Amino acid sequence: MKSWADISWTRAVVSENLKIAESAYLLKFPRTFDFQAGQVVALGTDPDLAPRLYSIASGEQDPFVDILFTEKSGGSLTPMLSRLKPGDSLMVSKPFGTFTKIQPGSVLVAAGTGLAPFMSVLKSGKARGATVIHGASYPEFFYFDEYLEETLKEKYLRCCSRVAGGDWFHGRVTAFIEQWKGLDPGRKHYLCGSAEMVVQTRDRLISRGVPFKNIDAEIFF
Ligand SMILES: Cc1cc2nc3c(=O)[nH]c(=O)nc-3n(C[C@H](O)[C@H](O)[C@H](O)COP(=O)(O)OP(=O)(O)OC[C@H]3O[C@@H](n4cnc5c(N)ncnc54)[C@H](O)[C@@H]3O)c2cc1C
C-alpha cells in the first residue's frame, strides 16, 4: 500500500490512547464500520505519510475499535500515533484482509502485538476451544493477560524469552513448540508475528508432524 490516494478512508476521532506497557499502546476510536475478526485497517495522521497496517484487536460487535501497537524508535508513524490524545483526528481505511477463517478449537500462536487479531477472534466469540500461545520478551508485554487467563484458563500458555521464574515457559515460542506435550497435529494452527517468528514457528510445527494444510499465518512487517 503506497499512498492514501490509493485507498478509501475516513477520519476517526480518538477516544482513548492508553500506554499499557513500555512503548506499547492501546488506541481506541468509535466503530463506524462492520469488519470480520482478523482484518486490518490502514492508519495515518498525515496524508503525505504512507499508511501503515494494524490488526483490529476488538470484537466485531464492540462499540470501539481497539488497536494494539508498539512505538518503533525512528519509525515514521508510530511515534506520532503514540502522541495522539482523546479528541485528535486519525486517518482510518476501510477494513480489509483475509486472515478471517480461524476455526473454533484452533491453536493461536502470537508474538508481541501479533496477539491483536486473535483478541478480535476471541472477543467476537469465534474461537471456542482455542489455545493461545503468546510469546513476549518481558512479562509486561503479556498484553490482555487478565482477560486471557479468565477466558481460556489452562488453554492460555505464555512464553517469556528474557525472564525465568514466573508461571510461564522460559524461552521463545519456538522452543516451547519443540517440547509441547499438548501438541496435536490434527488441530489448525494460526501464527501471527514478525516474518522471522512465523517462519521459525511454522518450521517447528512441521518438524513435529503438523501438516502444512493445518498452518496459516499473518505476517506483521
Ligand atoms: C498485516 C499487518 C498487520 C499489522 N498489524 C500490526 C498491529 O496490530 N500492531 C503493530 O504494532 N504493528 C502492526 N503491523 C506493523 C505496522 O504496519 C508498522 O509496520 C509498524 O507499526 C511500524 O510503523 P512505523 O511507521 O512507526 O515504523 P517504520 O517507519 O516502518 O520503521 C520501523 C523500524 O524500522 C526502522 N527503519 C525504517 N527505515 C529504515 C531504513 N531505511 N534502514 C534501517 N532501519 C529503518 C525504523 O527506525 C523503525 O525502528 C502490521 C503489519 C502488517 C503487514
71/136 same-domain check: no
> Which of 210, 170, 172, 171 lies closest to 190, judged by CA?
210
CA angle in degrees (0–180, nearest 5) for 207-211-212: 95
Q: What is the pLDDT of residues 171-199, one digit of tens each?
A: 999 999 999 999 999 999 999 999 999 99
What pTM was computed for the model? 0.97
Q: What CATH number is given to the structural domain containing 118?
A: 3.40.50.80
Sign (positive/negative) of CA torsion 35, 94, 63, 218?
positive
**Are residues 84 and 147 located together in one domain of the fold?**
no
Which of residues 64, 93, 122 is at a domain's end? Answer: 93
Q: How confident is the model at residue 2 (pLDDT cuts 50, 70, 90)?
A: confident
In short, whether 161's Cβ falls inside 6 Å of ligand 1 is no
Please check whether residues 17 and 66 belong to one and the same domain: yes
- Check if 113 has its Cβ closer than 6 Å to any atom of ligand 1: yes
Residue 23: inside a domain, yes or no? Answer: yes
125 CA distance to ligand 1 centroid (A)?
29
Count: domains in the chain = 2
Residue 35 and residue 55 in contact, taking contact as beta carbons nearer than 8 Å = no
Asked if residue 40 has its Cβ within 6 Å of ligand 1, the reply is yes
115, amino acid identity:
L
Q: Per the domain annotation, does 99 fall within a domain?
A: no
Can you give the residue range of the structural domain that contains 176?
107-219
Of 66, 93, 120, at which residue does a domain stop? 93
Any domain includes 14: yes
| φ, ψ dihedrals at 193, nearest 5° | 165, -155
Assess whether the C-beta atom of 69 lies below 6 angstroms from ligand 1. Answer: yes
| Same domain assignment for residues 113 and 84 | no
In a shared domain, residues 16 and 59 = yes
User: Is 186 found in the same domain as 148?
Assistant: yes
Q: Dig out the grid coordinates for 207 from the structure.
A: 518438524
Same structural domain, 71 and 139: no
* pLDDT tens digit sequence for 99-127: 999 999 999 999 999 999 999 999 999 99
Give CA–CA dist 73/160, Å, rounded.
23
Verify that 84 and 134 share a domain, yes or no. no
Helices 116-123 and 145-152, interaxial angle, to 10°? 50
Same-domain status, 79 and 153? no
Report the CATH number at residue 89.
2.40.30.10
Burial 133-160 (b: 16+ CB within 10 A, else e): bbbbeebebbbbbeebeeebeeebbbbb
